[in-house]
Amino acid sequence: MVKIAIAGGSGEVAREVIDALVATKKHHIIVLSRQEPGPGDTIEGTSWATVDFTNKDSIVPALKGVHTVLNFVPVYRDSDNAAQRTLIDAVVEAGVGRFAPSEWATLTTDTLPWYGPKVAIREYLAELNKDGKVLEYCLFSCGVFTNYLGAPYPSTTHVHTSNLQFDLARRRAILVDGGEGGQMSFTTVSDFANVVARAVKYEGEWPVVGGIRGDTVTAAQLVTMAEEIRGGQQSRPNYRLPSTY
C-alpha cells in the first residue's frame, strides 16, 4: 500500500481526488493541513497531519514513507509561493518520489493573472532538476470543468459550480466582439479525479506536462451547441457584448 500525501486536502477539488483515491483501496492517504480537523473534515480511509507550510521542519516528519505528494493549496492564497516552495523543499528532504504542484486547471496564465504564481513554481522545479533528476513531478492540467456549464444545478460531490461567461440555464453568454473566441478545453470533475488516481498508481515515469483533456471547442461553437440543446436562436450581431440566446 502506497502512502499519498494531499496538501490542502480540505479543498473542493482535492476532496474529489481523495474520493477517487480512496475508492481504489490501494493507498494510505494523509491529508496535510494548517488546521486541526473540524467536524466533518475527517474522511474515511485517510489520516490527518497538521503542519506549518512555512516551516520545512514541520512538514518533513509528516512525509516519512510518503511516495507521492499532491498539492492543492491555491496559488492565489499563497503569498510569493512561500508555502509551496517550502513544501517542495520538504518533499526533497523527505525523499518523496513524486510531486504534483498546484496546477489543476489550464496551463495558460497570460490572461489569468491569478494563476501567474504558477510560472515561478514551474521555474523553481525546473531549476531543481537542471543538473539531474532530483524530483519527479507533473503539471496536471485539465482546462475548465464541464460541470460549470450545468450551474446552478449540482453535478459534483464537492466542487461548487458557478457561472462562467456562459449562463446556459438563463440562455445568456458573453462573447468577444468580432471573433469565434479562443479554444477552451472542458473536462468533467469525475474524469479528472479518476485520471489523477490512475496517474498515482502508474508505475512509469510521469511526464513534466500531463493531465487530461475532454472536449475542445471555441466559445462560439459552445454557444451553437447550447442553441441546439436549449432551443432558440442567439442574438449575437458581430459577437457583441453581452449576447443572449
For residue 235, pLDDT over 80 is answered with: no
Alpha-helical segments (H) within 25-81: 56-59
Picking from 195, 200, 236, the residue whose alpha carbon sits closest to that of residue 214 is 195
* Helix, strand, coil share (%) of the chain residues, nearest 5: 35, 20, 40
Classify residue 191: in a domain, yes or no. yes
55-71 confidence digits (pLDDT tens): 999 999 999 999 999 99
Res 177: pLDDT: 65
Q: How many residues does the chain have?
A: 245
List phi, psi (to 5°) of 2: -90, 140
CA–CA separation, 144 vs 108, rounded Å? 11
Measured CA to CA in angstroms, residue 58 lies from 31, 75, 77, 139 at distances of 14, 20, 20, 25
Grid cell digits, residue 38: 473540524
Q: Which residues span the domain enclosing 39?
A: 2-147+186-214
Is 173 domain-assigned? no
| pTM (two decimals) | 0.89
What CATH number did the domain enclosing 198 receive?
A: 3.40.50.720
Task: Report helix angle 189-201 to 12-24, nearest 10.
Answer: 50
Report the domain count for the chain.
1
- Is residue 163 one of the residues assigned to a domain? no
Dist. CA 144–CA 214, nearest whole Å:
9
Q: Of 56, 57, 85, whose CA–CA distance to 73 is shortest?
A: 85
Mean predicted lDDT score pLDDT of the chain = 88
> How confident is the model over 81-101, as pLDDT tens digits?
999 999 999 999 999 999 999
230 part of a folded domain: no
Residue 95 domain-assigned? yes
In a domain, 100, yes or no: yes
A 10 A CB-CB count for 68 gives 23
Q: What is the DSSP letter of 152?
A: T
Please determine, for residue 244, whether its predicted confidence score (pLDDT) is greater than 50. no
Q: How many CB atoms lie within 10 A of CB 86?
A: 20
Grid cell locating 63: 512525509
